[in-house]
Amino acid sequence: MSTIAAISTPRAAGGISVIRISGENALSAAEKIFFPVSCKEKASEMKGYTCAYGKISDGENVLDDGVLTVFRAPKSYTGEDVAEISCHGGIFVTEQVLRLILSKGVRPAEAGEFTKRAFLNGKMSLTQAESVMDIISANGKAELRFASALKEGALFRRIKNVSDSILKLLGSLAAWVDYPEDDIPAVTDEEIFETLGSAVKNLDNLLSSYDSGRILRKGIDTVIVGKPNVGKSTLMNMLSGCERSIVTDIAGTTRDIVEESVRLGDIVLRLSDTAGIRSTEDKVENVGVRLAQKKLETSELILAVFDLGSEISAEDISVAESCKGKNAIAVLNKSDLEQKFDFSGIADNFKETVTISAENGDGAERLSEAVGRIYALGEIIPDTGILVNERQRSCAEKARNAFSEAVNALRGGATLDAVNILIDDGENSLLELTGERASEAVVNEVFSHFCVGK
Ligand code: GDP
């Protein structure tokens, strides 16, 4: 494989820049431009995990001074010989050093090519490679925690457990189908059911954690609904008071839509349409109501607010009805007033009910717990490995469906050959997930999202 190089630090002026060279000729190329001052050895004679201070020069002019770090195959990021040159962090000087390296028979690295080589050389699984990108783009603590767990191979191990048990089953099935006359013990239907059943269960657990994981990482798209005067704005203010993070004004619409994110314990609620909710003027209220209606259809979470201090009205009932079957929480507000609201008739439309007094700032914690229960957030432990992107989710789902189809086929009296094909399909999806049997197209797609230098 050719030797490649790229600047691995951001294209911006900084204290230091790192230029990474990887491949068979990495050390001999480094040797032609880096002249150690702190040691006698040339780059090609340096041991792995050692570094030297020296001059970077084209042979006539010194461009800069810096530090060379040597990694010897296979003990490097890519699994190949790697030289990393740290020089001063100016954009111009860094590019000059890179250009010099590229004149020594080294070609520019493509986006994600270092990590791709690490994957191809067996240094990491595809899911681990994906986590490298997640770590770079992590915005918050939860996101970083998930990415790090992925990097440690938690998901890979979890999938591998399932995939190994299926491989074993496939092995016994093949032996039995191919050599019926030999004395190979028959694979019983019970064994097949047991292995497939436990694979389906494991994959179901994994799949159900996908949404919760995404929610912990990215937040929940939330809408607040309710008839006028029940306390929606007051609830908004209460939540914003907890910790306001982002406020965006998107101009140019019929009226400004305000979107803000509030943090509720570990969870981020992305509340939108607050301008509509806050409006009082009739004409504008209409726009707000329409927007809110649309939001209601597309949101991941609905907070439906009711006023405990007044009798239930037709409007309340219609709000409740539009919540049916959705992830909706009934927020019974104004608990400080005398209770006139009869909730019993509409309670069934909601997954959770929380009593609060928005004005007194009472109930945020109970609301947070209710959201946590809806999304089963308490059960998410990053270290056990979870699916973090659509590619992974779709592979896991395909595998799950294939195994469950195999169970049904066997129950329906299908031949072992037919069942075998379904199990094999599922196994292929698992191997695609981990990258053990991913097509070149899949691998290229994963790495195309990387930046150059990674
Ligand atoms: P919205 O039209 O649904 O946005 O309702 P507002 O938030 O504007 O509240 C309507 C009225 O109810 C205001 O006068 C609030 O002060 C009052 N209100 C809101 N929450 C509470 C509460 O928890 N207790 C009491 N007693 N009044 C409240």
Q: Is the CB of 337 under 6 A from ligand 1?
A: yes
| CATH at residue 176 | 1.20.120.430
Q: What is the pLDDT of residues 263-287, one digit of tens each?
A: 777 678 888 644 444 334 455 455 5
Q: Same domain for 152 and 225?
A: no
Q: Which of 362, 379, 396 is the last residue of a domain?
A: 379
| Closest ligand 1 atom number to CA of residue 358 | 23
Q: Which carries the bigger pLDDT value, residue 330 or residue 154? A: 330
Q: In 204-278, at which residue ranges do the beta strands (DSSP E only) sit?
A: 220-225, 244-250, 257-264, 267-271
Q: What is the pLDDT of residues 40-59, one digit of tens each?
A: 999 999 999 999 999 999 99
Decide if 454 is inside a domain: no
- Rounded distance from Cα 298 to ligand 1 centre (Å): 26
Q: Is the CB of 332 under 6 A from ligand 1?
A: no
If you average pLDDT over residues 187-195, what whole number do you get?
Answer: 90
Query: Across all residues in the chain, what is the average pLDDT?
Result: 85
Q: Per-residue pLDDT for 183 more than 90?
A: no
Decide if 122 is inside a domain: no
Q: Is the CB of 357 under 6 A from ligand 1?
A: yes
Does pTM top 0.75 for this prediction? Answer: no
Decide if 67 is inside a domain: yes
Which of 223, 224, 227, 234 is the best mutation target for the ligand 1 pocket, counting ligand atoms within 8 Å of the beta carbon and taking the most?
A: 234
Q: Same domain for 357 and 395?
A: no
- Rounded distance from Cα 277 to ligand 1 centre (Å): 13
Q: Is the CB of 315 under 6 A from ligand 1?
A: no
Cα separation, 383 vs 402, whole angstroms:
27
Q: Same domain for 359 and 315?
A: yes
Q: Same domain for 225 and 314?
A: yes
Choice among 172-176, 192-196, 346-350 with the minimum mean pLDDT: 172-176
Q: Which of 123-127, 403-407, 431-435 has the highest mean pLDDT?
A: 403-407
Cα separation, 338 vs 40, whole angstroms:
87
Which residue from 244, 212, 213 is spatially nearest to 145, judged by alpha carbons?
213
Q: What is the pLDDT of residues 93-136, one digit of tens each?
A: 999 999 999 999 999 999 899 999 999 999 988 988 888 877 77
Q: Same domain for 242 and 335?
A: yes
Q: What is the pLDDT at residue 239? A: 82
Cα separation, 179 vs 174, whole angstroms:
8
| CATH at residue 237 | 3.40.50.300
Q: Same domain for 347 and 417?
A: no
Decide if 179 is inside a domain: yes
Q: Is the separation of the CB atoms in 203 and 399 below 8 Å?
A: yes
Q: Which of 56, 75, 109 is the last residue of a domain?
A: 109
Q: Same domain for 335 and 236?
A: yes
Structural domains of the chain, count: 3
- Rounded distance from Cα 310 to ligand 1 centre (Å): 12
Decide if 438 is inside a domain: yes
Q: Collapsing DSSP states into helix, strand and coil, what is residue 56? A: strand
Q: Which of 329, 352, 379 is the last residue of a domain?
A: 379
Q: Same domain for 371 and 393?
A: no
DSSP string, 3-55: -EEEE-S-SS--SEEEEEEESTTHHHHHHHHEEESS-SS-GGGSPTTEEEEEE
Q: Same domain for 423 and 277?
A: no
Q: What is the pLDDT at residue 279? A: 39
Q: Per-residue pLDDT for 177 more than 90?
A: no
Q: Same domain for 46 and 65?
A: yes
Which residue's CA lies nearest to atom 19 of ligand 1?
231
Decide if 58 is inside a domain: yes
Decide if 144 is inside a domain: yes
Q: Same domain for 72 and 92?
A: yes
| CATH at residue 33 | 3.30.1360.120
Q: Same domain for 424 and 374?
A: no
Which domain range does residue 437 map to?
133-209+385-447
Decide if 258 is inside a domain: yes
